[in-house]
Amino acid sequence: MSQPMPSKTDNTFLSTLTPNAAVADFGAEAIYDDDADRPMGARMRHRPSGFILDVLRMQSVPQVFLWVNTAPPSQRGEPHTCEHLLLGKGRRGRAHASLEEMSLGESSAFTMQTKTCYHIHTASGSEVFFGLLESQLHALVHPDFSDEEIRREVCHLGPVTDPATGTVTLEEKGTVYSEMISTYEHPWTFLSNELGLLLYGEDHPLARDSGGRPDAIRTMTPDHLRRFHGDAYRISNMGMILCLPDEVSLEEGIEKVSGILERVEPDARTAGDPATADDRLPEPIPAAAGTTRSGTYPSHNPDAPSELVFAFAPISDLEPEEAGLLGLFVANLASGETSILHSRFVDSAQRVIETGASAAFGWVDDSCGHSVHIGLRNVDRDTTEREKADQVATIVRAEIERIASLPGDSDELAEFNKRGRGRLIQSRRAARHFLNTPPGFGYRSAGAGWMAHLDELRKIGGFRRSLAMKAIHDRLELLLAASRGNAWRDRLRRWGLVGVAPYAVSVCPDPRLLEKERIEKENRLQSARVELDARFEAEGEDSLRLFREEYDLRSDEIDSSAESIEMPRFVDDPPMTIDDHLQYSCRSICGVPTVESVFDHMSGATVGLAFRLDRVSQRRRFIVSSLASLLLDVGVIDNGKPISHTEMTEALRREIWGLVAYYSSSSSTSRVELVIKGAGTRPDENERAMHWLRLGLFHPDWRAENLSRIRDVIDGDLAATRATPRGAEEGWVGGVELSWRRQSDPLQLGLNSYAAQTYDLLRLRWLLRDDPGGVADFVRELGEVGEPSRESLTELLASLTEEGQAGESGRWAAGAQALDARGRAMLREACDDLGYCMTESPDASLALDWGEICATIATELCTPPANGLRELEEALAEIRHRDNLRLFTVGDEPSLTAIEQPISAIIGELTEGPSAVHEHSGAPHIVARLRARGANEEDSHPLHIGVVNASTSTGVIVHTAPCGRYADLGRDQLLDFLATRLYGGGGAHSLFMKTWSAGLAYSNGLRDRPAEGRLAYYAERCPDLAQTIRFVIAELSTADPDPSLAEYAVAQTFSESRAGAHYSLRGEAMAADLTDGRLPGQVRAYRKAILRLRDELGPPALLAELKARIEGACARVLPGLGDAPPPAGACYVVIGPESQMESYETYLKSTDANARLHRVHPRDFWITGR
C-alpha cells in the first residue's frame, strides 16, 4: 500500500532537514521515506539528553509508543514491577490514571526482556493528547509512591478476616506476585528461562526473568525497586515513536515534545545512547554445546502436551543483510506448514518419526547476537525423554547439513531458494502494509513491531532510511536468485549451525506440582505466623489481630492519599460515536447487503464475506468446528487441477497480502458466522485475492486422495484447542461465561466454549479415519467395562500398549496385541483421546462419560471417510447461498470500484434459492447435563457456576447481568448506567485500582457494556475468589463519592472508541455493528442523552442520584451486595481449582444460606446428543 502524499508543510519541513539540523532542542538523525521514496517522518535526537524521537505522519488519531531500557538486574522482576507501579500508584501515578480517563485516553503497557513499553492514544484531539503525554512522562520519571505501595504491589502478607467467625488468617498477596504465580503455571515460562540460562549464562541480563521469579519476588524490598527506577527511568534512557495526523505538522509535534522534555527533566544529561543500549549488553557465556534441560509445569492431566525446543549459541556481529538471510533460512527450515521440519515431524504423509507434534516452529532472537530457535509444539511425553529428543535433534541437524551440502545447481536448492524469495516478497508486502496502517498504539493488541522495525533501520544506517527496507530486500533478492553456487554452505558453518549440537529444553506436565506448591506456601505462611507472634509478643489470634490493625492503618493512609487527588476536567468535545470519522456507506452488490468503508490513504482493499452458520443442519453442526480451517488450509482444485496446501501457501505469499477464514459471533444476538476475508495492497493483488478466495469457497480440496492433509488440519485444530486453558485468561474465560449463558444455542455453545470445540473436533477427527480392522469394535467393547474407577481406567489404558499384563487389564492387552500394526497404532491414538477426555470428566459421571466417548469414537470410526467428506460438502453447500451472505469492503475508492467485478463473479456462483434456517432446540444443554449428575430438578437455570480448572492455583470471576442498551434512553436506565461507572474504569478511585493495589486481582473491574446490554464484573488471577469479592463489596458499601465523580461517570460513557485502530478492523467492526443493530445514530443519541441529563441536573444533584443507585446497580453482578435478589438473566461464573470453589461457596452461603455453587467440568460443555 502506498503512503498518501505528505502535506506540503511536511514536504517542505522534511526536505530541509540535514544531518544534525536543529528543531527546538532536537537534532535530525535520519529521514524516513515511504514505499514511493517520499519522506513521511524523521528520527530526531534530543541534544541535552540523547532521548530518541521518531516522528511519523499517520492518518489516525494522535498516538505514541514510549520505550525505556530496562534490562533486569536480578530475578526479582524490577522492570515488571515498575510497569505496574508508575502509572497507577502514588499521587502522581493515580492523578495520571484519572487524567487518562477524563481525557478518553486508551493505553497499555508491557515488559519485554530489555525494554518496558507504554503506549497511548486519545480521540479527544491533539491538545488533549499532548497534555496526556506530558502527564505520563512526569509519572514515569518522577513517581511519588510510598514504600508500602511498593510492598503491596510486589508481594506481601495480608490479613484475611472471615466475616462469619471473625477469624483472621494470612494470605500471600501482590498483583505482580499473583500474575507471575499464574505465569509460572505455563510451560513456556520454564522453556524461556532455561533457554536464557543456556544461551547467555547465569549472570547475564537476558538470563533473568524481567517479570520476576516468584521465589525472588518475595525477596524484593522498596530499596531494590527505587535503585532500579533511578537508574533506568531517565529521559536519557528512553525514546518514543510519535504518530501524528494532518492536524498537527511534524515540526510542531517535535517542538511540543521538546517543551515537554524540558519541563519533565530540565537538567537532563546524556548518559550513553539509549538506542544502542542492547548493543552494550555483556558478551554471552553460553553453556557447552549439546547441553539439555528438562522440567515440568502444573497440570491435572499427566498426558497433557509437552514442548521441545532446540537453540544454537548466539551469532555475533551479523550485518543486517546477513541477519535477513538467517531469518529466511530459519523460516524455510522450521516456520509453518510449508517448512522442511513440518514435513519431517508433523505431516502424517511424510514424517519420519512419531513425536505427536502438532506444529514445527522457528525464530531468530536478536537480543544479544542472533540465536536460532527451533521447536516442536504439543509433543508426546516420550519425545522429551533424552533418547527420543536426541533422535529429533539428529534429524534437525541432518536437515541443516543436507541443505549446506546441496550442489549449487540442484533442483532442491532452487526450490528452497524459491520459497525464500516467496517469504521475501511477503516481507516487502508486509512493510508496505505496515507503513499504511495506523499502529494501534494504546490497544492491548499493539506490540513492539514499530520499535523493532525502526531499530533495524538504525542498524542499516544512513540519513535517508527506507521504511520499506528496499535496499536490503533488493540485495536479499539478488542472493536468492543467484543461479550458481550454494549461498548457504559457508554461511551455515559461519553461523554455527553445522557440526554443532544444539541446546535442548523440554517441559512436561506434572499433576503433583500444584500440591507441592500448596504445601510450600502453607509452610511459608506458618513461618510468617511464628514471626508475627515474636514481633507483636503475642500468640495466635492476638498477634494476627494486631497485625490486621496495623495493616488496615496503612491501607487507610494509602486510601486517604488517593482520595485527596483532584479529579481533572472532562474534555469539552468528546466523540459522539464509536468511530466518528469513519466514511462508510451501506449499499448492495448483486443484491447482497454491503458495508463499504473508504480510506483515501490506502491503495489496496480488504473484502470479507460473512455467511450465517444457522443454515447448517443440526446433525452436521459439529463439522462447523473446523470448517474455517478446512476451507483454506488443505489446498484447492483449480480448473480440475489439485493445488496442494504447500503450493497454495507459497502462491499466496507471492501474490496477495492475506486470505483468512474465521468465525464471527455476537454475544447479544443470534449471529454466528463464517467469515472469509481476502486482501491486497495493489490492484493486481486485490484481483488475485478474490481469485484465491473463490477457490477456497467453492473448490477446497476435500477429495479422498487428500485425506492425510485434511486429517492433519483437524488434528492441529484439536491440539491447539485443547491447549486453550494454558493461555492468558482474558483470551478464553469470556467464552466460558458466554457459552454457559447461551447454552440453548448449539452454535454459540459449540464455538465459544473450547471444551465443546474439543469434543466436536474429536468427532470430526474419527469420522474421517479409516478403520484398518477391528479397532472400532474393540473401542466399543472398552466402553462396556462396567462401573470403572479413574484408577482402573488409567491402568486399563496403560495396559493397551504393553505386553504381559495380568487379570482384566491383561485380557484387554491381549486383545490389543491381536490387532495388526496399523490397528495397534490407531488404538494408541484412541487411548490418548480417551485419557484426555477422562481428565475433563468428574468422578460422578466418569463411567457414563467413558461409555459415551468410547461409543462416539467407535461410531464415527465405523463411518466410511467418503461419507464424512460428503457431509463436509453438504454442510458448506447449506451456507453457500446468496441470501445467506453479507459483505464488508475496506479500501481506497479506486480499489473498491475495481474489486466490484470479481466480487460480483463470486456472488454469481452462490446458490440463488432460499437457504433453510435450522432453529436450535431451546433446551439448556449444560443444565440438562447437571441434572443427569444429580442437580436439583427445581433449579431450572443455576445462578452460581463454578467451572473447575484443576491446572491452576488462581481464580477468575466473570459475573454478568442485563443492563440498558444504547437504544434505552429512559432516565432510570441512564442513571443506572452512570451509577455503575462511578467506580468503573481506571481512575485513582476505581475498583480496578483499589483491587489491583490490594493484590487481589490482575485485570479487573466493573464494565457496563450498552452495546451488548450486559453489565459485567471481571477479575482474573485472584489468589482467593472470596477475598476478592468481599473486598470489592466492602469498597462499594463504604463508598462516599465526591461531586467530581459525577463528571467522571459521564466521561466513562465516551470511553469506547475504535478511532485509533487499523483501517480494516474499523471497517469490519462497523459492518458487524450495523448487522447487530448497533447503529451509530443510537450511540450518538445515547451520549447526547447522558450529556443532557448531566446539564439538567448539575453535578451535585446528579451525584445524589447516582449515590442512591450505586448499591442496586452494582449488586446485579456482585452477589452479597445489598438485599435485592439477582436480576433475571444474571450469570455468575467463577473459574478455578476446587480449593477456590470451596472458599467461594463458603462466601456465597454467608450471604444466602440456600446458595449453591454448581460445579461444572469441561466435559459438561460437550454437545453429545446424536
Digit-coded pLDDT (tens) for 878-916: 999 999 999 999 999 999 999 999 999 999 999 998 999
> In 3D, which of 613, 662, 670 has the Cα closest to residue 916?
613
CATH superfamily of the domain spanning 292-437+467-508? Metalloenzyme, LuxS/M16 peptidase-like (3.30.830.10)
Nearest to residue 707, comparing CAs of 788, 780, 785, 634? 634
CB atoms within 10 A of CB 769: 22
* pLDDT at site 809: 62
Whether this prediction's pTM lies above 0.75 is answered by yes
Ordered DSSP codes for 698-757: H-B---GGGHHHHHHHHHHHHHHHHTGGGS-GGGTHHHHHHHHHTTTSHHHHHHH-HHHH
Output the pLDDT for position 938.
59
The CATH code belonging to domain 944-1154 is 3.30.830.10
Biggest CA–CA distance in the chain, Å, is 89
Q: Give the separation between CA 948 and CA 841, rounded to whole angstroms.
A: 10
Name, in order, each residue with C-beta under 8 angstroms of 480's C-beta and a sequence gap of 6 or more: 328, 417, 420, 421, 424, 487
Q: Distance between CA atoms of 465 and 435, rounded to whole angstroms?
A: 13
| 295 three-class SS | strand
When computed from its CA atoms, the radius of gyration of the chain, rounded to whole angstroms, is: 30
- Going from the first residue of the chain to its last (1170 residues), give the mean pLDDT of each consecutive group of 10, the final group possibly shorter: 48 88 96 92 97 95 97 97 95 94 95 97 95 97 95 92 84 92 93 96 96 96 97 97 94 97 95 94 95 94 92 92 95 95 96 95 93 96 94 97 94 94 92 88 92 94 94 90 86 95 96 92 95 92 93 90 88 94 96 96 92 95 95 97 96 95 93 96 94 98 97 95 90 95 93 96 96 94 87 89 55 86 93 92 92 95 96 97 98 94 97 89 86 69 92 94 94 95 92 90 91 95 94 92 91 93 95 96 97 94 94 95 92 96 94 92 86
Report pLDDT for 209: 97
Residue 775 in grid coordinates? 479397532
**Strand spans (E) along 899-971:** 944-948, 955-962
DSSP state of 164: T
Instruction: State the DSSP H helix or E strand holding residue 525, giving kind and residue range, or none if neither.
Output: helix 513-536
Strand stretches in 320-479, DSSP E: 359-365, 371-379, 464-466
Ranges assigned E (strand) in 454-570: 464-466, 503-510
Nearest CA to 885 out of 1071, 658, 1012 is that of 1071
Question: Regarding the domain delimited by 584-746+867-917, which CATH topology (the fold level of the hierarchy) does it fall under?
Answer: Cytochrome Bc1 Complex; Chain A, domain 1 (3.30.830)
- The ranges assigned to domains in the chain are 292-437+467-508, 584-746+867-917, 771-863, 944-1154
- Predicted confidence (pLDDT) per residue in 1110-1121, tens digit: 999 999 999 999
